[in-house]
Structure 1
Amino acid sequence: MTKHDLPDTTRFWPFAGGDLRDIGEDGGFVEAPLAPPGPDEVIARVDAACVCSSDIKVIRMGAAHPLFSERDLAKEPAVLGHEMALTVVAVGENWQGRYRPGDRLGLQPAITVAGRRHTIGMDLPGGFAQHIRLDARTLGGDDEPYVFPVPDQVSAATIAMLEPYSCVEAAYRPNCRTGLKQGGRLLLVTGDGGDAVALDVAMPAGEVTLVAADQAAEAWTAPAKSVEQHPAVDRFLAEPEGPGFDDIILRGRIPPEQITALLDRLDRGGLLVLAGAQEQALVTVDAARIHYHALSLLGTEGAGLADAFRPERCRFELKAGGVLLILGAGGAMGRIHLHRAVEMADGPATILATSRKPARRRALEEDFGQLARRNGKRLVILDDADVPATVRELAPGGCDDVVVVAPDVGLIETGAGYLAAGGMLVLFSGMPFGKPCRLPLWRIGHDGVRFTGSSGSAVADQIAVLDRVTAGRLDLAGNLQAVGGLGALPDALEAVAEGRLSGKIAIYPGRLDLPLTPLGELRRDGSTGWSRDDEARLAAG
């Protein structure tokens, strides 16, 4: 073991259930012995940890949270906090040479071990502590690690904010399939007029189910390992459900209620292709499946199936020079969507951002208005009631991109109505499953619109954000609103829960007594940003 500034004790906030003010013991954090790392462990110092609205959700759900279903929090308290910046202080013998004391690390908290999902800061101990103990689940072993090196010049608060920014970044990176799955399970349904759509792509599937097939469909699917046929859609849907499908192609006009039922047969990560003219009616969709299950929805009214896979029908990024509407921009994640768009050199030229709360609208203007003007972008902050008139004035043909950052079915349906031809609707709403949402899926083929969404992120997404930070194209400190020491955590949680602060709050566990302090009070010279030098002065008291 190599030792580097490893103290005998550490401090942390245990969560044993209860409300926001029940975190800790007797209203305070806990001090406990800090044992050296075992052979397969690395101990890292938590340099900064940011508060997330997910932390509030976990506290409010307590033992009812799915990640705690097999755990008695009263006997085994959790340590929350999943957005953090780390410095290695001690390395177990099996990690010698791969990690060294003094290494600065970022961390992806959502990890998968033996097919099971875990989250650091929820079911695994997190960053609301002075130190964190990491093992092979996070450090990698034979697999890719969930930690990654970060440059010395980047502030700890910025490193901690990589995680929430990466979740937004993932929404604009390829996050679902845009082609049929090789060797997968395919359902091909032929409806009215479907025989006019040529099947002009290679047959990829291993298993095929044909419904109401014509000769062209039978010939196209003949190379598959197995082909099962059904005479009609209603009879197929009336039969007991078998395994789900990787791809579903609806060729020709299919009634909206049948599209809804067929969508239920699409597996996680599945692709639905609407080929041919569809009835211009709304289709009921479980919106949560689009972003949590990474469903891909493509379509064409062209002569052949291949038209559905043209690159312009599969875009993920915001349209350069276009009009972006962010519905629910005032909350923590909405602010990140807005911040990212404002700093994109090749991003939208006009950004419409809504919030129902006047205080949040003022904060958006104060925090991002000048930045938008400096970057040559038009930023319009709106109440929801002002959106229709503003869209008619500034985007009479509709918005090129609409992002919904609120778990509100009505807002999703409204957002879809603002889409221009070729537009993209991004669902970042955290919708619970089972909430029916009516969407104009016919527009996918007719107008080339795109319905997409995402949830969570990967190490690659964090590194993509970090690359933009180090290149000077994104300053995450522009969204940092307050800082505090370890003892300020309950105040920080309460401020986020009550919406008093919608920007990010960074907790510095090395400082015990620093109260929750707005950044402006620490930067009395009027300067902006938050650097490593600022953090050094903060650490020095």
Structure 2
Amino acid sequence: MGNSIPETMMALQLTGVGMDTVELREVEVPRPEADQVLCRVECAAACASDSKIIDQGPEHSLMHGWDPAKWPVTLGHEGCVTPVEVGRNWQDVIEVGRRYAVQPAVPSAPSRYRERYANGGRGIRKIAVGYTLPGLFAEYVIIEPEVIGCSCLLPLPEGDIPHFAAALSEPISCVVAAQQHSFHIIKDSPETPRRAELGMLRGGTTLVLGAGPMGLWHVEIAMSYEPANLIVSEPNDARRETARRFFGERARAAGINLVLTTPDELESVIADLTGGRGVDDCIVALGIRPIQEKSFDYLGEGGVTNLFGGVKADDHMISVDARRIHYESISVVGSSGSDPSDIIETLDMVASGRIQPGNYVSAVGGLDAARDLLQAVREQRMEGKGIIYPSVRKPLEEIDGWSAEQEKKILGG
């Protein structure tokens, strides 16, 4: 290989089922074939969904029967990469030295190793980075042709977006996508036809249930729709204070009435703010079935409940009042994941300062800390996101926010 690319690298791999099969291993740095791209991984973020592949192995829906005990997989699906060697098929498309964000969910059948999948890969319509495609908890990663062909390797916009912000564009984009699944039917006058507007109702009342990490992202994205009232319901005092610290001044500057309350007080707060009408949008950032069911009670006429948190497979049925759907036009939407357009929009929001991803970083470390980070996520010991820098060797450090300047320092810049 060239002088700048080593023969071997370290990668965090799943070699079976269960956390005891997650290992930091020395593996060969692959050379890209004509339809592949070799990238340096600038940083990668941990996600709660990483635990699902660890616990389920070949039974995970995105593994399609691929057995990591036979064919180890490199974990990690949120990250920022820089191409260092481009196969000839992509040399007019992918630029060496430019940074890219990764959309891990690839709407494609696999082009390689079909014999490793159940039924020879027949019927597969989606594969994913960090599952059967090489993941990002590694010093280098091969980007397969399906990723590029499906526009899932996305160049960063002009500007100095830090690596960690690019990595977090994927989970944030899931929130952007979720809110765009909500819609409202608008009539400008009695004589004009109805039209649909995507997103939260502008000038209306938006309610976010839950102020954990994903709930806070929902609050931040909801502010871009400029609601008159933005209510956050959260029983935990510390989480409410975090929401106040992150968004209080910004909401005031934007003319948004930000109200932080508890579930016990929520119904009276809604009644006071809306004159008893109810909210226009309710985002349920919690995977708790009774709370999802209760969310419909908060809606006013034409209101929309957005179910964001996934519920347990054995406790997922909810009841909805069909009369309210019929007579009051309430509705429910939901979504999972995002697509490249959502990441592009998120990156633009980061570049313009409308989203501040550094607020949500609560731990950083080198590649040697990646396993510890996954364990911390599994044990729910972190409120925010954890960032791994594969070029660095550093124990996991808990922090309260992160910045471009701090990132440069950890990277020796």
SS at match of 1:379: strand
One-letter amino acid matched to 2:261: L
Larger CA deviation: 321-330 vs 49-58: 321-330
Counterpart for residue 409 of structure 2: 537
Determine if the alignment matches structure 1 residue 347 to structure 2 residue 226: yes
Q: Residue 93 of structure 1: which of 76, 88, 91 is its match?
A: 88
Q: Residue 161 of structure 1: which of 164, 168, 171 is its match?
A: 168
Identical columns (%)? 33
Q: Report deviation, 1:360.
A: 3.5
Q: Report deviation, 1:497.
A: 2.6
Determine if the alignment matches structure 1 residue 326 to structure 2 residue 217: no
SS at match of 1:87: strand
Counterpart for residue 127 of structure 1: 136
Distance, in Å, in 2 between the alignment partners of 1:336 and 1:161 is: 11
SS at match of 1:413: helix
Q: Report deviation, 1:174.
A: 5.1
One-letter amino acid matched to 1:384: P
Q: Residue 456 of structure 1: which of 319, 337, 353 is its match?
A: 337
Q: Residue 59 of structure 1: which of 37, 40, 54 is its match?
A: 54
Q: Report deviation, 1:23.
A: 1.8
Q: Which runs of 5+ in 2 are unaligned?
A: 110-123, 186-191
Q: Report deviation, 1:516.
A: 2.4
Q: Report deviation, 1:80.
A: 1.6
Distance, in Å, in 2 between the alignment partners of 1:487 and 1:382 is: 40
SS at match of 1:129: coil
Determine if the alignment matches structure 1 residue 139 to structure 2 residue 155: no
One-letter amino acid matched to 1:14: Q
Determine if the alignment matches structure 1 residue 390 to structure 2 residue 269: yes
Change (3 A) 1:405 1:92: same
Determine if the alignment matches structure 1 residue 420 to structure 2 residue 292: no
Determine if the alignment matches structure 1 residue 310 to structure 2 residue 191: no
Q: Report deviation, 1:4.
A: 8.3
Q: Report deviation, 1:356.
A: 4.2
Counterpart for residue 431 of structure 1: 311
One-letter amino acid matched to 1:6: I
SS at match of 1:76: coil
Change (3 A) 1:136 1:80: same
Q: Tell me if the contact between 1:491 and 1:516 (Cα under 8 Å) persists in the aligned partners.
A: no
One-letter amino acid matched to 1:146: C
Q: Residue 149 of structure 1: which of 152, 155, 168 is its match?
A: 155
SS at match of 2:199: coil
Instruction: Please tell me the root mean square deviation across aligned C-alpha atoms, in Å.
Output: 2.9
Q: Report deviation, 1:358.
A: 4.3
Determine if the alignment matches structure 1 residue 117 to structure 2 residue 132: no
Q: Report deviation, 1:519.
A: 4.1
Distance, in Å, in 2 between the alignment partners of 1:375 and 1:492 is: 36
Distance, in Å, in 1 between the alignment partners of 2:388 and 2:92 is: 31
Larger CA deviation: 497-506 vs 420-429: 497-506
Distance, in Å, in 1 between the alignment partners of 2:384 and 2:248 is: 15
User: What is the correspondence of 1:45-56 to structure 2 with a 5 Å cutoff?
Assistant: 45-56=40-51
Q: Report deviation, 1:36.
A: 2.0
Q: Tell me if the contact between 2:288 and 2:309 (Cα under 8 Å) persists in the aligned partners.
A: yes
Structure 2 length as normaliser, TM-score? 0.85
Counterpart for residue 336 of structure 1: 217
Change (3 A) 1:496 1:389: farther
Structure 1 length as normaliser, TM-score? 0.66
Change (3 A) 1:493 1:455: same
Change (3 A) 1:20 1:324: farther
Change (3 A) 1:174 1:368: closer
Determine if the alignment matches structure 1 residue 494 to structure 2 residue 367: no
Counterpart for residue 104 of structure 1: 99
Distance, in Å, in 2 between the alignment partners of 1:491 and 1:409 is: 31
Change (3 A) 1:514 1:46: same
Q: Tell me if the contact between 2:182 and 2:200 (Cα under 8 Å) persists in the aligned partners.
A: no
Larger radius of gyration: 1
Q: Which runs of 5+ in 1 are unaligned?
A: 179-297, 299-306, 521-528
Q: Tell me if the contact between 2:226 and 2:256 (Cα under 8 Å) persists in the aligned partners.
A: no
Q: Report deviation, 1:172.
A: 2.5
